[in-house]
Structure 1
Amino acid sequence: MSGSPQLQPARPNKLLLPLQTGRSSCHVEMPPPPPIRLGPPHPYLKTHGSKVARLHLFDWVVLALLVAIDVGLNLIEPFHRFVGEDMMTDLRYPLKSNTVPVWAVPIYAVIGPIIIIIGIYMKRRNVYDMHHAILGLLFSVLITGVLTDAIKDGVGRPRPNFFWRCFPDGVPKFNNITTQVICHGDPAVIKEGHKSFPSGHSSWSFAGLGFLSWYLAGKIKAFDRRGHVAKLCIVLLPLLLAAMVAVSRVSDYWHHWQDVSAGGILGLVVASFCYLQFFPPPSGDPGFWPHAYFEHILNPEGEGQVQSTTNSNHRRSLSGGPVAMEMGNTNQELGSMEEGRPAG
């Protein structure tokens, strides 16, 4: 009947293709296609937190070792540099209390930045970013603390208020031959009087707040070459706070200006090294996340060997590598089998 639709014969299943081999024919069963993945799973704290911590277990052990070393450096007696009678002229500054107490340093240099880092995690939900930022921050302050206390013990420079530490009653006493001071004050106070160089407040402040400054620069893309000066104000705010703490050490007569300068440079240099160990330079999009997160994107963990192989093959096929050549040869063989010709 004209105009009526004609039925088309059903096409054979492509997974079972006939292959002519002389008098007999056989069917070749093709393997199932690889599973389709939309992308790597998002690294939440619940799903990837323990895994990331296990990968950096050795780093956390090193952090504990640094804490033990720093405690030991604070317990030993520092070098007592020679202090003569004529040197007391520059060491008679009054013995004042600290404007910034010692217990406040870990709060603004460590706990404060950690709170900011956790707040960013609550917004972005990237456990790699939170873990590596906290780990880098702790490494920054602890490495700086060990270096600072080691130099303090080795140098033994007297503080500007050393006179009143050595002679709390104001009555000096010196050796008749060498004119070296003969202190009769509290041994613990005298011990601290030989720890002027470099400034611990300054080095810790610039180590913790300097790392925070680097971290914020990456998060707000401060150096994306768009000329937003307001971003620089956010980046410089932690450094300003650290500088004010360093200035207070001079105005309190606990340190010479050379002490706070050396401490600030030491802390900032260590903070820079520790940040760049975990994060790219804060310029543009690549500086937003840590190195480990980009590795997670390229090679997701916990997805099995099939997923890793599939992603690797896909990347190499896009670049025209061996996998692309293998896929091309496979397509040719499939075409030959569909035409009834022997492959190869």
Structure 2
Amino acid sequence: MAKDKKWQLLLDLFSLASVLVPLLTLTQVAHPFERGFFINDDSLKLPFKEQTVTEVTLGIVGFVLNVATILIIEYLQSRRQKNPEQKYIFGFAVPAWVWQSYAAIRTFTFGAGCQQLLSNVTKYAVGRLRPYFMDVCQPEYNETLPANVLGYIQVYNCRNRFDPAYQPYLKDMRLSFFSAHSSFAMYAAVFFIVYIQYKGRWRGSKLLRHAVQFFALLTAWYVGLTRIVENYHHWSDVAVGFINGAIFGFLVVIYVLKPTKHLPLTWQDAPESALPVAR
């Protein structure tokens, strides 16, 4: 019988919890750094808007896209294998494709948790104000106070702090840098792109896989643009989010998941021995 994978499964769950629990705790308990603002900073005077792509929508789409892709590819690959090796968990046999799917989904989730934890630690530590800060806060301050005399307002109160309609946004208005939306969207897209580049197989079309990859990238790009257009982030927040997500997506697939290429290269340089010799 093959070695039981129960301990690996338990350690995987522990590793995931070590990332996801701090992430959840941070977002529920921590309070961001209270940064001041310049009186004439026009970048903070944009109107508040409802967001088009919510955290829930983005998370569901990102996970469903990758999980469904992983399950389909691993199942189809297992059908082409002769006598695929079964795995055992707590003594129960698990089909090889199920275990391979679990390994990929586990890795995707771990990477998603890591990049989101990095994003949120940065958000709470920096406390950069969102472009709609003035609209939501409606700050009240005394310019003659010693902390405010230089035009950088550090002591102030939000006029809307007692308005129930604005309560959910008084904390969120300090979490601009960097964009967790853009980071996760790009992470999910890059993971998807690199994964199907290594594992995808279909000889029906040379360009279909690359077209799908492009639209995944375009979707992530669109998510980032909505964060700027809807005044939730400065452009630099989105740019850093894209970079963070892309780096995590690439590194997680290549160095954590470490997939094997399903097909040989479609072209390669001919060995020197096969080349004609000039006379």
Same fold (TM over 0.5): yes
Give 1:188 shift: 3.7
Q: Does 1:152 align with 2:123?
A: yes
**In the alignment, which of 173, 176, 193 is matched to residue 143 of structure 2?**
176
Q: Does 1:98 align with 2:98?
A: no
Q: Does 1:82 align with 2:82?
A: no
Residue in 2 that maps onto 1:241: 219
**In the alignment, which of 55, 58, 69 is matched to residue 8 of structure 2?**
55
- String of CA shifts for 1:35-90, please: whole Å, max 9, x gaps: xxxxxxxxxxxx98x94454242122111121111012212000111113222x22
8 Å contact kept, 1:140–1:211: no
TM alignment of 1:148-297, pairs within 5 A: 148-167=119-138, 172-177=139-144, 178=148, 179=151, 180=153, 181-186=156-161, 187-220=167-200, 228-276=206-254, 277-280=256-259, 282=261, 284-285=263-264
Moved more, 179-188 or 212-221: 179-188
TM-score (structure 1 length as normaliser):
0.61
Alpha-carbon distance in structure 1 between the residues aligned to 2:127 and 2:239: 17
DSSP 3-state at the match of 2:176: coil
Give 1:122 shift: 3.2
Matching residue's letter, 1:63? L
8 Å contact kept, 1:206–1:239: yes
Alpha-carbon distance in structure 2 between the residues aligned to 1:237 and 1:163: 36
TM-score (structure 2 length as normaliser):
0.75
- String of CA shifts for 1:167-226, please: whole Å, max 9, x gaps: 1xxxx522223052431224541210110011011111112222111111112369xxxx
Matching residue's letter, 1:189? Y
What do you get for the CA RMSD once the two structures are aligned?
2.5
8 Å contact kept, 1:203–1:263: yes
Give 1:121 shift: 3.2
Alpha-carbon distance in structure 1 between the residues aligned to 2:194 and 2:14: 25
Moved more, 144-153 or 184-193: 184-193
Alpha-carbon distance in structure 2 between the residues aligned to 1:197 and 1:211: 23
Alpha-carbon distance in structure 1 between the residues aligned to 2:249 and 2:18: 19
8 Å contact kept, 1:66–1:143: yes
Q: Give the aligned length.
A: 230
Residue in 1 that maps onto 2:87: none
Structure 2: unaligned runs, 5 residues or longer: 79-96, 162-166, 266-279
Cα separation, partners in 2 of 1:285 and 1:132, compared to 1, 3 Å: farther
Cα separation, partners in 2 of 1:59 and 1:285, compared to 1, 3 Å: farther
Residue in 1 that maps onto 2:107: 136
Moved more, 172-181 or 209-218: 172-181
Alpha-carbon distance in structure 2 between the residues aligned to 1:239 and 1:221: 20
8 Å contact kept, 2:73–2:200: no
Alpha-carbon distance in structure 2 between the residues aligned to 1:262 and 1:152: 12
Matching residue's letter, 1:205? A
8 Å contact kept, 2:191–2:250: yes
DSSP 3-state at the match of 2:157: coil
Matching residue's letter, 2:141? F
8 Å contact kept, 2:199–2:260: no
8 Å contact kept, 2:176–2:233: yes
Give 1:278 shift: 1.5
Give 1:281 shift: 6.7
Cα separation, partners in 2 of 1:220 and 1:92, compared to 1, 3 Å: same
Alpha-carbon distance in structure 1 between the residues aligned to 2:184 and 2:193: 14
Structure 1: unaligned runs, 5 residues or longer: 1-46, 287-344
Matching residue's letter, 1:84? F
DSSP 3-state at the match of 2:247: helix
**In the alignment, which of 51, 56, 68 is matched to residue 115 of structure 1?**
68
